[in-house]
Structure 1
Amino acid sequence: MNKKCLLKKTLLATMIALASQHAAAAGFLLVEDSATGLGRAFAGEGAIADNAAVGARNPAAMATFDTAAFSVGLSYINPSVDTEVHSATFGDTGKAKDIAPDAWVPNIHYIHPVSDKFAVGTSVFSNFGLSTEYPKNVGSLGGGNTELMTVNWAVNGSYRMNEQFSIGAGVNVLYADAEMNRYIPPGSPVSGGQRAVKMKGDGYGYGWNAGLLWEISPQHRIALTYRSSIDTTLKGKGDFLSQGITNTSAEMDIEFPDLWELSGYHRVATKWALSYSVLRTGWSSFKELKAESSSCTVGKGVCFEKAEYWKDSWRYSAGVTHYLNNQWTLRAGVALDRSPVKGEYRTMSIPDSDRYWYTVGATYSIQDNSTIDIGFAYLDGDAKKGTETDMVGNVPVVYEFEAGGDAYIFAVQYSYWF
């Protein structure tokens, strides 16, 4: 069995890109770092600074805090994603319902002012993630099961230059853990029903972030932030049926994309404010992935290698905040998430499409120094058709499919000011 043909669109495409239909943002990006932000579709996140969660989006905004602040939150992602394989070379057609399991995404943040000009802070949250489960007999080479989990720990500092400008920067430590399994179609004359690929690994990567906050006035703020790409090497064990190798040491490099965000906040009336954000995710840096092991002698240590054709994606969001009274603040927002996957490259592993967000949220002030936030979002994603070709030996395996679905996100958060 030819290893390059078999592995080209199994381990690579599914280890990473299958997140596209259940990660909250385009590609496999997660943006759920606060319930407050969810209520306004994460519009204006780098500029508003209404609790400690801003440290995850813009370190410069920490300098605006005159007292220590703490926030802890939890988001629950409930996707409803279905795939139907209409035709397949070896008959592994059918419907795969709810391929994306529910997920819990926690976050925690702390900001500590050192002086009236300098502050430090730390945040723990997740920027990327996926989890999908297909029946073994439906789209076997493009299905199977995949899981990618990441945890990002950020340590930041900020400096207030004057009444209008603050700057900030920090470092990020990212931990990633991934596992996947793929199967030969049951009807295949070559090893039908057997597992084609299994790989499990984890690893660390390091990056940095920086931000700028311009306080035009107490009622108007604009922010610009940047988070660097992070190269991570996942090391673990792998099974490669094409080479007759099991439980071998293997590793794979993943370059998580960089992020640029421009955001604004404007208090247009005593009880009303508008916010907006434009977020660019640098998916074009995701050019290829390569799995390597000294046991893969056919490829001189390369178990597989494949080019990718993703493009940078954009997310546009707008939100409104209503300061109802001393106890209640209400929010609503909308967003458009552009897919990084071009139509001609859409496969079962990457059935990504544009996504529309509709969100609401509220803050309740328990006391002067503590609040409870709740947020809700409905994500509307179109179902898209695609054609994928894999190989079993020298035999092409062609799938014609349709995939898509929606998602619901619920979030809660507690914030405290010392």
Structure 2
Amino acid sequence: MKNKFNRLTLAAAVAAAAFTGQVHAGGYQINEQSVSGQGYGHAGRSSNVNDATIVFGNPAGMSFLDRAQVSVGGTYLNVNTDIKNAEASRDFGAGPVPIEGSSDGDIVPGTFVPFAFYAHPVNERLAFGFGVYAPFGSKTDYEDGFIGRNLGNYTELTVMSAQPTVSYRFNEQWSIGAGVTYNRVDGELHRQVANPFNPVDPAADLDARIEGDDEGWGYNLGVMFQPVPETTLGLTYRSKVSYTLTGDYRATDPAGLVNAIAPERLERDAKLDLTTPETVSFSVTQQMTDRLKLMAGASWSRWSRFDQIRVVDPNNGEEITEEPQSYSNAWAYSLGGEYQLNPQLALRAGITLDFTPTQDAKRSARIPSDDRRIFSIGAGWSPTEDLTLDFAYSYLTERGTQVDYDRLDHEALPVPTVTSAYSADYKNEAHGFGAQLTYRF
């Protein structure tokens, strides 16, 4: 079953997750695909070959591994959101009418983001790998009486990807890699809309929700260059992925029923298209001494593809809902380092500056995020040559931001046309706790 809001789920829900942890170049891509990399802020994601998680970071790096290995782990994200000065209203054409409600904050439940990778060097030049990970994902859950419920009160999205990968090393300096990704999306979205048969009473609002899923294919490419043994440069390209989400829209009254007078308006098929952006990442790793190496990275995402969320009825082409987004292309920058304290223990630290693609005039309750700074520390402990346990902690602090958003409601509404508005000040922070096990064969 697929749904109109499912695309809204993929766009808004994921975007709402932008502040839930390590995020990649703003928007709704997340970085929880490596705990060893999390420790140094993912600064060397495309160039630092630590373990099998390089399958995601840069497939070309698999050829630099000397043994087959598996890396499994995940990061637990704990997000805190403070909401102040929240106001909401609806306008039926005679002027705005205030909406009563609460704004408790802490809208993102604790979430665990898992991953698993396997890399197998066949010989000195050729290597194969496979990975399963979450490139996107979010859950935002406002309280039942949320004052901004007409613009969205619940969003959940899960995207899982499977990636077979191959790399080839031409010589001591150059290697290339490529992977194909199969991506599965599941999402759910809720919002309260005015009841067309009793529009002025907020207690009679309809509960509009959608559950859906879809799948799409993508690919990534990587190149790694080592001009001297102490210096490694990496470049990774991840393709856009196009989804067509089709499913059901359903709006029920407080009793959970669809009004029998206009069921064709309140329960019908829906479709929307979404294209996630392509991303280019570059990083350099420099071995300063036998114990110390430093890393720096930058990434760019083409978020300008995400201009609007438009849902239509596929049976007649009628627009059900449209929400402008007007995202801009965005950059993220990171610096990090690793110090080998002794043969068993490596210490790591890093910082990331992540710039949001959202626009002040289009920021909504579903995407209340802004520019952020991420501070990370970590450690890798190798009790044996075959086993490494990695741990990392990240603290994300986001610039305080304001949501001041209004939209024209016409979904499920024969009459009247309603304009819903919501404004509030948001302050977000997040804590990420990661653990990873790598075993070498």
Under a length normalisation based on structure 1, what TM-score does the superposition of the two structures give? 0.91
Q: Go from structure 1 to structure 2 and tell me whether the alpha carbon gap of 1:404 and 1:10 turns closer, same or farther (over 3 Å shift).
A: farther
Q: Which runs of 5+ in 2 are unaligned?
A: 90-97, 253-258, 410-415
Shift of 1:183: 0.8
Correspondence for 1:274 among 287, 291, 294: 294
Q: Go from structure 1 to structure 2 and tell me whether the alpha carbon gap of 1:170 and 1:371 turns closer, same or farther (over 3 Å shift).
A: same
Task: Report the equivalent of 1:19.
Answer: 17
Task: Report the equivalent of 1:371.
Answer: 388
Distance 2:21 2:303 in 1: 15
Distance 1:306 1:133 in 2: 20
Task: Report the equivalent of 2:431.
Answer: 408
Is the contact between residue 207 and residue 229 of structure 1 (CA under 8 Å) also seen in structure 2?
A: yes
Listed as ranges, the matches of 1:87-166 within 5 Å are 87-89=87-89, 90-137=98-145, 138-166=147-175
Shift of 1:162: 1.1
CA-to-aligned-CA distance 1:245-293 (integer Å, 9 cap, x gap)? 4553333222111110001100111211100110112111112333233
Q: Aligned partner of 2:161: which letter?
A: N
Distance 1:375 1:179 in 2: 31
Q: Aligned partner of 2:70: which letter?
A: F
Q: Which moved more, 1:303-312 or 1:330-339?
A: 303-312
Distance 2:290 2:9 in 1: 54
Task: Report the equivalent of 1:314.
Answer: 331
Q: Calculate the aligned-residue CA RMSD, in Å.
A: 2.3
Distance 2:11 2:39 in 1: 33
Q: Go from structure 1 to structure 2 and tell me whether the alpha carbon gap of 1:416 and 1:12 turns closer, same or farther (over 3 Å shift).
A: closer
Q: Which moved more, 1:67-76 or 1:187-196?
A: 187-196
CA-to-aligned-CA distance 1:285-307 (integer Å, 9 cap, x gap)? 11233323345x5xx34322344
Q: Which moved more, 1:246-255 or 1:229-238?
A: 246-255
Q: Which moved more, 1:250-259 or 1:323-332?
A: 250-259
Is the contact between residue 85 and residue 93 of structure 1 (CA under 8 Å) also seen in structure 2?
A: no
Q: Which moved more, 1:48-57 or 1:135-144?
A: 135-144
Distance 1:11 1:141 in 2: 15
Is the contact between residue 11 and residue 197 of structure 1 (CA under 8 Å) also seen in structure 2?
A: no
Distance 2:382 2:362 in 1: 48
Task: Report the equivalent of 2:43.
Answer: 43
The yes-or-no answer on 1:80 pairing with 2:111 is no
Shift of 1:232: 1.4
Distance 1:167 1:221 in 2: 13
Q: Which moved more, 1:95-104 or 1:183-192?
A: 183-192
Q: Go from structure 1 to structure 2 and tell me whether the alpha carbon gap of 1:397 and 1:307 turns closer, same or farther (over 3 Å shift).
A: closer
Q: Go from structure 1 to structure 2 and tell me whether the alpha carbon gap of 1:24 and 1:45 turns closer, same or farther (over 3 Å shift).
A: closer
Is the contact between residue 40 and residue 332 of structure 1 (CA under 8 Å) also seen in structure 2?
A: yes
Shift of 1:12: 8.9
Distance 1:12 1:78 in 2: 21
Shift of 1:415: 0.3
The yes-or-no answer on 1:332 pairing with 2:352 is no
Amino-acid identity (%): 29
The yes-or-no answer on 1:169 pairing with 2:178 is yes
Is the contact between residue 277 and residue 305 of structure 2 (CA under 8 Å) also seen in structure 1?
A: yes
The yes-or-no answer on 1:302 pairing with 2:319 is yes
Is the contact between residue 21 and residue 81 of structure 1 (CA under 8 Å) also seen in structure 2?
A: no
Task: Report the equivalent of 2:412.
Answer: none
Shift of 1:408: 0.2
Moved over 6 A (4+): 9-13
Is the contact between residue 176 and residue 224 of structure 2 (CA under 8 Å) also seen in structure 1?
A: yes
How many correspondences in the alignment? 408
Task: Report the equivalent of 1:234.
Answer: 245
Distance 2:363 2:128 in 1: 43
The yes-or-no answer on 1:283 pairing with 2:311 is no
Listed as ranges, the matches of 1:252-271 within 5 Å are 252-271=272-291
Distance 1:294 1:100 in 2: 33
Matched position secondary structure for 1:400: strand
Is the contact between residue 212 and residue 247 of structure 2 (CA under 8 Å) also seen in structure 1?
A: yes
CA-to-aligned-CA distance 1:332-375 (integer Å, 9 cap, x gap)? 00010000012222232322211101110000002111110000
Q: Go from structure 1 to structure 2 and tell me whether the alpha carbon gap of 1:10 and 1:216 turns closer, same or farther (over 3 Å shift).
A: closer
Shift of 1:28: 1.2
Task: Report the equivalent of 2:440.
Answer: 417
Q: Which runs of 5+ in 1 are unaligned?
A: 1-6
Is the contact between residue 13 and residue 139 of structure 2 (CA under 8 Å) also seen in structure 1?
A: no
Shift of 1:10: 8.0
Matched position secondary structure for 1:360: strand
Q: Go from structure 1 to structure 2 and tell me whether the alpha carbon gap of 1:23 and 1:231 turns closer, same or farther (over 3 Å shift).
A: farther
Is the contact between residue 123 and residue 155 of structure 1 (CA under 8 Å) also seen in structure 2?
A: yes
